[in-house]
Amino acid sequence: KAGVTQTPRYLIKTRGQQVTLSCSPISGHRSVSWYQQTPGQGLQFLFEYFSETQRNKGNFPGRFSGRQFSNSRSEMNVSTLELGDSALYLCASSLVLAGEDTQYFGPGTRLTVL
């Protein structure tokens, strides 16, 4: 089976712009979780989607949003980008709800905000 894929792998944006990141889970997986990874804060949970519904949300501002499609692919959107949004954004998929089954991570999207 193909692993979790993320597109694009690298992005450079300027402050105030918005960005959309995409995640394709492993075939058959229904849960997609998003994480922000930075050197100072480590891996921080953004949100989890299961069967097209947001199940959990981390402690991030409303500028961060997401959605999941019927084929389980997920997108994450960040509006009004700030310098502090520069990070590696990782998504992870699992067969069922996160925690009930192993999460498999994608390679990440490296976002740089100038």
| Least distance from other proteins to the Cβ atom of residue 89, Å | 12
Q: Give the other-Cβ count within 10 Å of 14's Cβ.
A: 10
Pairing of strands 109-113, 10-13: parallel
Answer for which of 32, 48, 89, 113 binds other proteins (CB under 8 A) is 48
| Least distance from other proteins to the Cβ atom of residue 104, Å | 8
Question: With respect to other proteins, which residue has the nearer C-beta, 16 or 61?
Answer: 61
Residues 6 or more apart in contact with residue 14 via CB below 8 angstroms: 81, 113, 114
Residue 66 — φ and ψ, nearest 5°?
Answer: -155, 175
Answer for which of 11, 19, 33, 76 binds other proteins (CB under 8 A) is 33
Answer for which of 12, 43, 83, 114 binds other proteins (CB under 8 A) is 43
75: left (phi over 0), alpha (psi -120 to 50) or beta: beta
Residues in the site for other proteins, rule: CB under 8 A?
Answer: 4, 33, 35, 41-45, 48, 55-56, 58, 90, 97-100, 102-108
